Amino acid sequence: MEPAPEAKPAGPCAMVIFGAGGDLTKRLVVPALYNLATSKLLPKDFVLIGVDVADLTTDQWRENLSKMMQSFLAGGGEFTPESIDPSAWDGLIGNMSYLRGDFADDGTFKKLGDVLQKTEDDRHTGGNVLFYLAVADRFFGPVVDKIAAAGLADEQDGKRWRRVIVEKPFGHSLESAKALNQRLLKVLREDQIYRIDHFLGKETVQSIMAIRFANGFFEPIWNRDHVDQVQITVAETVGVERRGKFYEQTGALRDMVPNHLFQLLTMIAMEPPTSFDPDAVRDRKADVMKAIPPASLDCAVRGQYGRGEVEGHPVVDYRHEPDVSPTSSAETYVALKLEIDSWRWAGVPFYLRTGKSMSKRWTEIAIQFRRAPLSIFQGTDVSHMAPNWLVLQIQPDEGISFQFQVKRPGQTVALAPVKSSFAYKDWFPPSANVGYETLIYDCMIGDATLFQRADMVEAGWRIVQPVLDGWAAEKPADFPNYAAGSSGPKAADDLLANDGERSWRPIGNPI
Ligand code: BG6
């Protein structure tokens, strides 16, 4: 197979990480930068400045990061490189420096300005800066205000670029997301803001568009005339881990749906864009979000895990996790039925579900096509037609499978459902990738295609807001309502069963 054309290194720039001592920096951002370095995609002139409140020296910071990389290697994992290339790692940490500072203090931003100026003079970064807000969301607005007040967002009439990556959660509700957008847009242009959703950094999520639009045979059947239903599942085996405090405030709906699950949904449902220009693609995705009516409470199911066993290991109930209230109403599972009021999709239900502590780590998008008429088989033993499913599997093994029916060999007429499958791993070598590489690189080269625009974020919140409000107003009576290690609450099964006798696909059905 021909190798993919190689991407070029990004142009000169400095990257500033606020929250340099945090988990995100250590576990994802720095490993992603390392992977970019080994792929020769980091700028030749590159400097990384970590800002945080902890009292660390640059050497101590580097040492902490090196220890983290070593522990990754020791832990293995599907995307972990087998060994560290010392020249790439030394090159990367050699270009790092640490600035101790409180995010609330103007002095921090003044000092940062001095460091950036020196970097520009000595390290030829061209004055270009990518600010990465790897901090708790309450700091997003204040840090951006201070960046701007210190003159650090100024692009000097296009002589240099200044961009800001904002992590999730982007707001907690429609109102707070709007307020945050307004605050950022007071001091930055929309094209300087890169709202990250790490699901868009996953290779298989990006490939959905290619699969749809590079294969002519999908388009004629990709609509309400042929599609019966779409199911999107993001099942996790992890519980809330050490994030009890965050989860108590957030819950599964806020944490996963308006961002990650909606990204998957828009990739499936969007119209073909006229080009791969960032706004051409984002316009079509925004169209989908705008065509989804607000979710209704009777099409939403919430769940919370009780005690159980996940992959052979005992798991405590959510209410006994650290930092969780023993009477918590936070949901760890959500299922929703949505409709898209568009010419293409009117009447096709989109069922979404996601949960923690479930039976298997499994992310898939499954499209069920309308059944063929049974009439032709009258007079035979065939009394049932299994539907055709097209399944795009995202995690853990990426691939596609198609389920169809064949005749069972023999003298009678009998059908059997079979599958034809493609697995990425059978065709392409695995690559060390934590999911942030493409996103950071794209921000460096100014390509916002894989980032959320203000209108998309707000549209996502608008859809889920009635459910958030309804759930906040009424405590769940039946929590915990699913056992850890199961496939979710019974009410989620009823949601589909009451809707034309449908049922969820089994979680972990291999392609
Ligand atoms: C994060 C959520 O955004 O995505 C987590 O906050 C969730 O709760 C995670 O576990 C899932 O991402 P991935 O890449 O592990 O599937």
List pLDDT tens digits, range 442-468.
999 999 999 999 999 999 999 999 999
The three-state secondary structure class of 365 is strand
The three-state secondary structure class of 463 is helix
In the prediction, which pLDDT does 3 show?
Answer: 60
**CA 264/CA 258 separation, integer angstroms:** 10
**CA 236/CA 233 separation, integer angstroms:** 10
Higher pLDDT, 7 or 144: 144
Question: Are 125 and 10 contacting, i.e. CB atoms less than 8 angstroms apart?
Answer: no
In the prediction, which pLDDT does 429 show?
Answer: 84
CA 8 to chain centre: 25
Segment 297-316, tens digit of pLDDT:
999 999 999 999 999 999 99
In the prediction, which pLDDT does 157 show?
Answer: 94
HSE at residue 117, side-chain half, CA atoms within 13 A, is: 10
In the prediction, which pLDDT does 94 show?
Answer: 92
Find the mean pLDDT for residues 479-486.
97
Provide the pLDDT confidence category of residue 122 given band limits of 50, 70 and 90.
Answer: very high
- Answer yes or no: is the C-beta of 236 below 6 A from any ligand 1 atom: yes
Cβ neighbours for 243, distance < 8 A, ≥ 6 positions apart: none
In the prediction, which pLDDT does 377 show?
Answer: 81
**CA 430/CA 204 separation, integer angstroms:** 12
Cβ neighbours for 406, distance < 8 A, ≥ 6 positions apart: 415, 416, 418
- Answer yes or no: is the C-beta of 197 below 6 A from any ligand 1 atom: no
**CA 109/CA 103 separation, integer angstroms:** 8
Ligand 1 atom at shortest distance from the alpha carbon of 246: 6
In the prediction, which pLDDT does 379 show?
Answer: 79
Is pLDDT at 4 greater than 70 in this prediction?
Answer: no
For residue 247, the CA-to-ligand 1 centroid distance in Å is 12
- Domain 200-435+462-497 listed as CATH 3.30.360.10: yes
Ligand 1 atom at shortest distance from the alpha carbon of 234: 16
Find the mean pLDDT for residues 50-58.
96
Residue limits of CATH 3.30.360.10 in the chain: 200-435+462-497
- Answer yes or no: is the C-beta of 255 below 6 A from any ligand 1 atom: yes
Higher pLDDT, 263 or 70: 263
Least confident of 39-53, 93-107, 418-432, 493-507: 418-432
Q: Hey, how many other C-beta atoms are within 10 angstroms of the C-beta on 141?
A: 17
Question: Are 292 and 338 contacting, i.e. CB atoms less than 8 angstroms apart?
Answer: yes
Within 307-436, residue ranges assigned H as helices are 424-427
Question: Are 330 and 248 contacting, i.e. CB atoms less than 8 angstroms apart?
Answer: yes
Find the mean pLDDT for residues 395-408.
91
In the prediction, which pLDDT does 27 show?
Answer: 87
Is pLDDT at 198 greater than 80 in this prediction?
Answer: yes
In the prediction, which pLDDT does 381 show?
Answer: 79
Sheet holding 129-133, edge to edge: 96-100, 46-52, 13-18, 129-133, 162-166, 193-195
- β-bridge pairing 13-18 and 305-306: unpaired
In the prediction, which pLDDT does 2 show?
Answer: 62
Q: Hey, how many other C-beta atoms are within 10 angstroms of the C-beta on 418?
A: 12
**CA 320/CA 260 separation, integer angstroms:** 27
Provide the pLDDT confidence category of residue 78 given band limits of 50, 70 and 90.
Answer: low
Is pLDDT at 511 greater than 60 in this prediction?
Answer: no
- The beta-carbon contacts of 53-62 under 8 Å, at least 24 apart in sequence, are 53/21, 53/100, 53/101, 53/102, 53/103, 54/21, 54/100, 55/100, 56/21, 56/98, 56/100, 57/98, 58/96, 58/97, 58/98, 60/98, 61/20, 61/21, 61/96, 61/98, 62/93, 62/96, 62/98
Whose tokens are 């002519």? That residue is 216
Helix, strand, coil abundance in the chain, percent, nearest 5: 40, 20, 40
Ligand 1 atom at shortest distance from the alpha carbon of 199: 14
Exposed, middle or buried, 178 (CB in 10 Å: 0-12/13-18/19+)?
middle
**Read out DSSP for 273-323?**
PSSS-HHHHHHHHHHHHHTSPPPPGGGEEEE-EESEEETTEEE--GGGSTT
Is pLDDT at 375 greater than 80 in this prediction?
Answer: no
Q: Hey, how many other C-beta atoms are within 10 angstroms of the C-beta on 242?
A: 10
In the prediction, which pLDDT does 393 show?
Answer: 93
Question: Are 356 and 239 contacting, i.e. CB atoms less than 8 angstroms apart?
Answer: yes
Ligand 1 atom at shortest distance from the alpha carbon of 361: 16
Least confident of 98-107, 154-163, 187-196, 205-214: 205-214
- In CATH, the number for domain 13-167 is 3.40.50.720
Task: Please choose from 167, 206, 234, 255 the residue to mutate so as to test ligand 1's pocket, defined by most ligand atoms within 8 A of CB.
Answer: 255
Is pLDDT at 77 greater than 60 in this prediction?
Answer: no
Ligand 1 atom at shortest distance from the alpha carbon of 236: 10
Find the mean pLDDT for residues 91-106.
94
Is pLDDT at 280 greater than 90 in this prediction?
Answer: yes
Return the residue whose CA atom lies nearest to atom 6 of ligand 1. Answer: 255
**CA 10/CA 352 separation, integer angstroms:** 37
- Answer yes or no: is the C-beta of 137 below 6 A from any ligand 1 atom: no
**CA 184/CA 139 separation, integer angstroms:** 12
Least confident of 12-21, 63-72, 357-366: 63-72
For residue 256, the CA-to-ligand 1 centroid distance in Å is 7
Task: Please choose from 199, 234, 356 the residue to mutate so as to test ligand 1's pocket, defined by most ligand atoms within 8 A of CB.
Answer: 199
Residue limits of CATH 3.40.50.720 in the chain: 13-167
Cis before residue 480, ω within 30 degrees of 0? yes
In the prediction, which pLDDT does 153 show?
Answer: 98
Higher pLDDT, 380 or 361: 361
Whose tokens are 């990204």? That residue is 263
For residue 356, the CA-to-ligand 1 centroid distance in Å is 10
- Catalytic-residue membership of 260: yes
Cβ neighbours for 239, distance < 8 A, ≥ 6 positions apart: 305, 310, 315, 318, 321, 332, 356, 357, 484
Catalytic residue among 260, 313, 320, 384: 260
Is pLDDT at 85 greater than 80 in this prediction?
Answer: yes
Return the residue whose CA atom lies nearest to atom 8 of ligand 1. Answer: 255
Q: What is the pTM of this model?
A: 0.94
Higher pLDDT, 436 or 384: 436
Provide the mean pLDDT of the chain: 93
**CA 221/CA 452 separation, integer angstroms:** 28
In the prediction, which pLDDT does 23 show?
Answer: 87
**CA 404/CA 368 separation, integer angstroms:** 11
Question: Are 72 and 477 contacting, i.e. CB atoms less than 8 angstroms apart?
Answer: no
